[in-house]
Amino acid sequence: MASILFYADSQHEQEWLHTLRNAFMHDVVRTWTPGDHDAADYAIVWKPPAEMLAGRTSLKAIFLLGAGADAILQLGDALPQGVSVVRLDDAGMGVQMAEYVCHALLRYFRRFDQYEAQRDQGQWQFLMPFEKNEFTVGVLGLGVLGQRIVDAVKQFDFPVLGWSRTPKHIDGVTSYAGAEGLDGFLRATKVLVCILPLTAETRGLLNQDNLQKLPQGAYLINVARGAHVNEDDLLRLVQSGHIAGATLDVFQQEPLPAEHPFWQESRIQITPHMAAMSLFKESVAQIAEKMQTLEQGLPIRGIVDASRGY
């Protein structure tokens, strides 16, 4: 019988707890509360406070209820030394990301944004379709979720480019890698999809300098973290017309404050960090399977490398 410590800074805390208790019926799952220093075998968390994990070096692993490790890595030295942090690997998020990106991409490519505006004006007006072979889709970040997006976009015959920290070979994708590959990637990308992990290297990457390397009329879809984008720079480039528009699911501050200028800019589509949610059953089943694998002394996927930042 394992003892599992749970904490989720999430509006779905109760659903997570319920799903965990169903999946780990033969174990003890307890919600961490301040002052609880009792031993546990595993922790399952989302955005835990430093106090929960500090000094817990006897944990066998810390499982995240999401794909991004940026929040937990911010705990720095408060993370127990030598304890693996394990992120979710897809677990149903990949297909949601692909749906979101394809929706935003097709909305722009098929000019639905303009047809919606025309409809509001009572206007019946045919618009010439864009050329698909000029509509290069550049996916920034080729991890599990990035590759799922690439697969989906390829189905619509868009030319696809990919950028990753280290070189990757993906069939049908023109690949760029590393700092030296970024320039060429951006200059050749018409629709930029950001699905990068947030690290010291990627924070603020989409600033004026880099965004203006995109060709005139480019479009941005950000499903990663708000901190990848310099929001003032993006707004300026949209208002100048260099960037035609953006679909953003993530922001520097969430919820996006009511006075944020993005709300007033109709070329910027806003969604409330919903591109892909961690699915309760799929995520918990994946964690249970990985726990079992660890108990057998076998390797698992998704271990976070703190030195890399994801």
Choices 7-15, 60-68, 165-173, 297-305 (CB under 6 A): range interacting with ligand OXD: 60-68
66 binds ligand OXD (CB under 6 A): yes
Binding letters toward ligand OXD, positions 2-41, x by CB under 6 A: ----------------------------------------
146 binds ligand OXD (CB under 6 A): no
278 binds ligand OXD (CB under 6 A): yes
Q: How far is the CB of 205 from ligand OXD (least distance, A)?
A: 17
Q: How far is the CB of 222 from ligand OXD (least distance, A)?
A: 12
Q: How far is the CB of 310 from ligand OXD (least distance, A)?
A: 10
List the helix and strand counts (H, then E) for the chain: 10, 12
137 binds ligand OXD (CB under 6 A): no
Q: Which residues pair with 3 in a beta bridge?
A: 28
**Cβ-proximal residues to 215 (8 Å cutoff; 6+ apart), any chain:** 187, 189, 190
286 binds ligand OXD (CB under 6 A): no
Burial code (b: 16+ CB inside 10 Å, e: under 16) for 251-274 equals beeeebeeebebeebebbbeeebe
Phi and psi torsions of 239, nearest 5°: -70, -30
**One of 43, 61, 67, 97 touching ligand OXD (CB under 6 A):** 67
Torsion angle of C-alpha atoms 80, 84, 88, 90, degrees rounded to 10:
150
Is residue 105 a contact partner of residue 191, using CB atoms and an 8 Å limit? Answer: yes
The footprint of ligand OXD on this chain (CB under 6 A) covers a number of residues equal to 4
Is 273 annotated in the active site? yes
Tell whether the torsion through CA atoms of 219, 200, 162 and 255 is positive or negative: negative
Choices 37-45, 65-73, 286-294, 299-307 (CB under 6 A): range interacting with ligand OXD: 65-73
Is residue 112 a contact partner of residue 102, using CB atoms and an 8 Å limit? Answer: no
68 binds ligand OXD (CB under 6 A): yes
Length of the chain in residues, anyone? 310
Q: Which of 87, 148, 225, 228 is catalytic?
A: 225
Q: What is the DSSP letter of 75?
A: T
What residues are labeled active site? 225, 273
Which residues in this chain contact ligand OXD in the complex, by CB under 6 A? Answer: 66-68, 278
